[in-house]
Structure 1
Amino acid sequence: MSVPLPPASASPVEPINAVSLRAFDPHGVPVVAIDSDLPAVAADRLTAQALRARFANPPKWTPEVRREPKLDGRVPAQAAVLVPIVQRERPTVLLTERSSKMSTHSGQVAFPGGRVDPTDPNIAAAALREAWEEVGLSADYIEVLGSLPTYTTITSFVVTPVVALVRPGFELTLNPYEVADAFEVPLDFLMNPAHHRRHAMVGEGLNARQWFSMPYQDGLHERFVWGATAGMLRNFYRYLSA
């Protein structure tokens, strides 16, 4: 059960297509509920030891969100993202803001990651390579724990989230063509459904969409986590709370 919000004004939302997707502003889509009635993941489940144990012996669980509406004419492509959990005193998740120069999902908050190359030996290797190419995060600092079920984006990327622990002390070097910024959000914030907002659009096809957002106030800057990234984090919440 979710906590319902007052009805939003019935302002029209422009139809989404391949041309308008880049300019789509999710802030204007009504918030229809906040899941503050669901329990947060307990702090003792967010430690490095507990996360290792969870991936070593996964629970029986069901992902909540697996796919978004498909844009016509796009051939599905395999992709991998790294879910980097930085082992600070209060663990954080390293996220990026995609460059406005990117052809898909430009300006959005995202995990480091991208398309799987034919030369990548496996999905984890693809995620590690992309993290190095995008933000200069060296594999020397990374301990891969495992992966979550795939999530298919509206742009037809079949994304595998690869969850990893990251040892502090790394230095980042951002690829300006792909990444505008990199920042960290506390893991306990993201694993608390009181911060999970549900958005909904009324319509048909691509316009009948629902998604999560997890806005995080980073000083004076709001980090608007939404869409595929929020969906994968929501699945991670379900995995850890199962």
Structure 2
Amino acid sequence: MGKQKLILWDIDGTLIVSHNAGVRAMSLALEKRFGVKNDLLALDWAGRTDSWITGQVFRQVGLEDTPQNSHDYLEAYLAELPQQLAQGKQGTVLPGILELLETIHHRADLAQGLLTGNLRRGAEFKLTHYKVWHYFEFGAFADDSAIRNELGPHALRRAGERHQVKFAPDKTFIIGDTPHDIECGKAIGARTIGVATGRYTVTQLAACAPTAVFSNFSDTTAFLRVIDAP
């Protein structure tokens, strides 16, 4: 049996929580690269891409949003991120995730990858720190587009290249903790699963009409029941 269904995971608030390691790294990068101090906590981070957030940071602090500034800022952010992850002692893999990743990894009919607003290198830093990077051989990242709704086709293409299967959108599940994740899935006709382990509640996510919504993923059987439904 070949791969028949595709599962695409968001990272922050879905797989892990790093307790603002990324925000701290972006704030430090702003100070070290441009000499501007700002904790950036007023920005709307949830469900956004790092490249989109960069434009918002520049607007908030009055920096010119040029390709060179953006490149320099994100490189400075990536340089700071590993240390901030190491210092974030409260960070963790979220409930049920390890069991789900391992179960899906061993299912011959399921493929799993990432669809995240993180830069690819940022995703690798985060998931390596939490010891789950090895579950993901492909994905779509902020490097592909600043617009989250444009990431789905990149993920589908890479999944197809990796597994030599053309995954149908209605056999694809996009999983995340924000309305942006659900909207991103719907943009390509995928099924969507919301999880209230980020800043949005079950009620708020359910209002976006996902295929399913969970308070967390501690019930592996219930999650797989959604995936295995016709």
**After TM superposition, is the score higher than 0.5?**
no
Bigger proportion of residues as strand = 1
- How does the TM-score come out when normalised to structure 2? 0.24
